C-alpha cells in the first residue's frame, strides 16, 4: 500500500499541473503515514484537503505538524532517533514552503520503507 515516490518527479508534476498533483501527493502522504502508524481514527487524505479548504488553509498547518509527529513516531518504533519533524514542517508551511514539507515527508516515508 505504501508507494515509493521520486521526490523530484513529484515536485515537477506539482509545478506543471499548477498544484493539482500536489493535492494528490498530500492526500497520499496522509493516508500512507496513517497506515504506517495504524491510526484508523485519523482523518483521511480527502478529509484533510476538505478541512484545509474550509478553514482557509489553517488546518494545513496543524496537519503538517501532526504528520511530523507521526513520522517521528514511526522512526522511534524502528529504533531511529526522532528529529522534531513537526516543528520543521510547521515552520516551512508557515513561510509558504508547503511543497518542501511534502518533499521532506516523502523522503522520510521513502527511508522508512
pLDDT over 80 at 32, yes or no = yes
Spell out the residues 6+ positions from residue 32 whose beta carbon is closer than 8 angstroms to its own.
Answer: 1, 2, 3, 109
Q: Under a CB-based contact definition with an 8 Å cutoff, are residues 35 and 2 in contact?
A: yes
Q: What is the pLDDT of residues 36-89, one digit of tens each?
A: 999 889 999 999 999 999 999 999 999 999 999 999 999 999 888 878 899 999
CA distance 111 to 16: 26
Query: Dihedral of CA 50/56/62/65: which sign?
Result: positive
For residue 26, what is its C-alpha cell?
Answer: 498530500
Taking the model in full, what pTM does it have?
0.91
Mean pLDDT calculated for residue range 98-106: 96
Report the percentage of the chain scoring pLDDT > 70.
100
Amino acid at each position: 500500500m505504501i508507494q515509493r515516490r521520486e521526490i523530484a518527479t513529484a515536485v515537477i508534476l506539482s509545478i506543471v499541473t499548477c498544484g493539482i498533483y500536489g493535492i494528490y501527493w498530500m492526500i497520499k502522504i496522509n493516508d500512507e503515514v496513517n497506515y504506517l502508524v495504524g491510526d484508523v481514527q485519523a482523518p483521511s487524505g480527502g478529509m484533510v484537503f476538505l478541512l484545509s479548504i474550509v478553514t482557509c488553509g489553517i488546518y494545513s498547518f496543524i496537519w503538517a505538524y501532526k504528520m511530523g509527529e507521526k513520522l517521528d513516531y514511526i522512526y522511534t518504533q524502528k529504533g531511529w532517533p526522532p528529529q522534531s519533524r513537526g516543528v520543521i514542517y510547521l515552520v516551512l508551511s508557515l513561510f509558504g514552503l508547503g511543497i518542501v514539507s511534502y518533499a521532506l515527508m516523502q523522503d522520510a516515508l521513502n527511508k522508512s520503507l
